[in-house]
Amino acid sequence: MPQQILPMPEHIAIIMDGNGRWAKKRGLPRTMGHKKGAQVFGDITRYCQKIGVPYLTVYAFSTENWKRPQEEVDAIMDLMREYLKDARRYEQENVRTFFIGDKSPLADDIKDMIQRVEEGSSQNTGLTVNVALNYGGRNEIMTAVQRIAKEVEDNKIKANQVNEQLFETYLYTSGQPDPDLIIRPSGEHRISNFLLWQCAYSEFVYMDVLWPDFTPKHLDEAILAYRNRDRRFGGI
Ligand code: FPP
């Protein structure tokens, strides 16, 4: 048992899983699960802000999720549009919003709204929310490698200057602390290509609740589980 309880996590990351199963259980289309999931995301954002969590990252759409039926992809993108339209509210509440992932294949209107929301909230000092959209950990690492290789080729940096500190500045989460706590609801025990570099020393909490049923109480439970862990970062 750890001697002392850990401080509150500085960065919480969540894999919002179980929307489809939640809908199926109720005889509803999967898209209804995503709709409820998006509402829960709003509630959890507000709760994080209330309890003073500085960074929250959520996995909304992975580089692999394009394989889903077109109708489901379209529904998730429409939820994203609604969220982006609503983002002014968060902006006024001092939330800083980033979208992490490869934005290039997104629809133009979504790209424009993302740019507006990121710029509009750039001076905010409260909760930072990263929405992972068309995000893949391997893709993020590969993009960083390609950019660094290009800079070496162009003689802007030397190969022997490439180290962990420099590498991190090429990631989407540049300048942010690594997640202390990664929560995956829905009973699955996988990382699914999420924050592969950043999760090196994260604590994982898996929960049986489906994301649309996730409440601030579940977040409290996960935080408490985290605070009772013994983090050694490779030491003893
Ligand atoms: C995983 O559950 C969930 C997703 C792939 C989509 C998550 C999207 C949202 C919560 C809505 C949009 C988000 C924002 C930020 C507005 P699943 O569909 O894999 O569930 P299953 O494993 O039960 O099938």
Q: Could you write out the DSSP letters of every residue in 28-78?
A: --HHHHHHHHHHHHHHHHHHHHHHT-SEEEEEEEETTGGGS-HHHHHHHHH
Predicted pLDDT at 87: 87
Residue 178 catalytic? no
Predicted pLDDT at 3: 67
Tokens of 54: 């500085």
Please list, in sequence order, all residues whose beta carbon lies within 8 angstroms of the beta carbon of residue 223, skipping any fewer than 6 positions away.
8, 9, 12, 181
Q: Which atom of ligand 1 is nearest to the CA of 24?
A: 23
SS3 102: coil
Predicted pLDDT at 88: 82
CB 185 near ligand 1, within 6 Å? no
Tokens of 25: 């259980």
150-166 per-position pLDDT tens digit: 999 999 999 999 999 99
Measure 116 CA to ligand 1 centroid, in angstroms. 24
Predicted pLDDT at 27: 98
CB 114 near ligand 1, within 6 Å? no
Predicted pLDDT at 97: 97
Tokens of 167: 């590498």
The edge-to-edge listing of strands for the beta sheet with 96-100 is 96-100, 128-135, 55-62, 11-15, 181-184, 203-206
DSSP state letters, 184-222: E-TT----TTSSTTTTTTPEEEE-SS-GGG--HHHHHHH
**Residue 60 backbone dihedrals phi, psi, to 5 degrees:** -100, -35
Measure 127 CA to ligand 1 centroid, in angstroms. 22
Predicted pLDDT at 231: 85
What distance in Å separates the CA atoms of residue 226 and residue 40, rounded to the nearest whole number?
A: 21
Q: Which of 17, 130, 139, 180 is catalytic?
A: 17
Residue 139 catalytic? no
Tokens of 83: 């969220």
CB 83 near ligand 1, within 6 Å? yes
Q: CB atoms < 10 A from the CB of 143, how many?
A: 15
Measure 156 CA to ligand 1 centroid, in angstroms. 41
What distance in Å separates the CA atoms of residue 169 and residue 14, rounded to the nearest whole number?
A: 22
Predicted pLDDT at 89: 87
Tokens of 139: 């893709």
**Cβ atoms 133, 98 nearer than 8 A:** no
17, 57, 207: which to mutate for ligand 1, most atoms within 8 A of CB?
17
Predicted pLDDT at 1: 55
Q: What are the residue ranges in the chain where pLDDT is below 50?
A: none
14, 15, 16: which to mutate for ligand 1, most atoms within 8 A of CB?
16
